[in-house]
A and B are shown apart, each in its own frame.
Chain A
Amino acid sequence: DVKVTQSSRYLVKRTGEKVFLECVQDMDHENMFWYRQDPGLGLRLIYFSYDVKMKEKGDIPEGYSVSREKKERFSLILESASTNQTSMYLCASSLIQGSNQPQHFGDGTRLSIL
């Protein structure tokens, strides 16, 4: 079974802090994704990566950056956390090609910025 592991289920940080959310997958997937999920807004793509050191902006990249130094690990960085970044963050991975390939998700991180 595919395993996508997010480093924290719950995280509380203060405004202005630099925040790191880590995600690791064990299935050698090329694609990795970061989403945020807010009530009434569904899943919104922040960034995705299709290879090591490669990244593409999603729908809402402002205020975020990402890092992919190894194939299995994709990090989301909040450069200077703000209260409007309080949200549920979901990491996912998938094979790079194939319309029959699903995304596999981690358990999510509920991030609160105080």
Chain B
Amino acid sequence: AQKITQTQPGMFVQEKEAVTLDCTYDTSDPSYGLFWYKQPSSGEMIFLIYQGSYDQQNATEGRYSLNFQKARKSANLVISASQLGDSAMYFCAMREGGYGQNFVFGPGTRLSVLP
């Protein structure tokens, strides 16, 4: 069964510093996608970044980058130059190839950015 682990229930970071949120996954499907979502206190889930299992390069989207280590089955999110508005819950998720409901979410990490 596919599984996502986020070992950090909570993280603190100083404003303007970089922070890494950990995510490890488990799957036997060679084709899969990894996603990160942000959920601020208002509740909406915002899609941040995607990494495909066959991608040779780490994904980047603005201040977000994904440190993808396929052999270790890890897909850590790096946020550079943290801002107060980055304070939120962050969820790692995985989708395997094929049809149907094959999406699984991790338990989340709560990030607090300190002024």
Interface residues of A (CB under 8 A from B): 9, 31, 33, 42-43, 45, 48, 50, 56, 58, 88, 90, 92, 94, 96-108, 110
Contacts and interface: CB of A to CB of B under 8 A. Distances in A.
A45 B46 CA distance: 18
Contact of B108 (A42, A88, A92, A101): A42
A105 B44 CA distance: 7
B31 interface: yes
Contacts of B53: 99
Contacts, number: 73
A83 B30 CA distance: 43
Nearest to A40: B107
A50 B100 contact: yes
A33 B96 CA distance: 16
Given A97-B97, A99-B98, A100-B52, 11 more contacts: A42-B91, A43-B91, A50-B100, A97-B99, A98-B33, A99-B53, A100-B50, A103-B93, A104-B47, A106-B44, A107-B42
A98 B29 CA distance: 13
A46 B44 CA distance: 18
Q: Which of B32, B43, B95, B99 has the largest number of chain A CB atoms within 10 A?
A: B43
A6 to B, nearest CB: 10
B64 interface: no
The 10 closest A-B pairs by CB, nearest first: A105-B45, A108-B43, A99-B33, A99-B97, A107-B44, A42-B107, A100-B33, A43-B105, A48-B101, A102-B47
A108 B101 contact: no
Given A48-B101, A101-B33, A102-B35, A42 B106 contact: yes
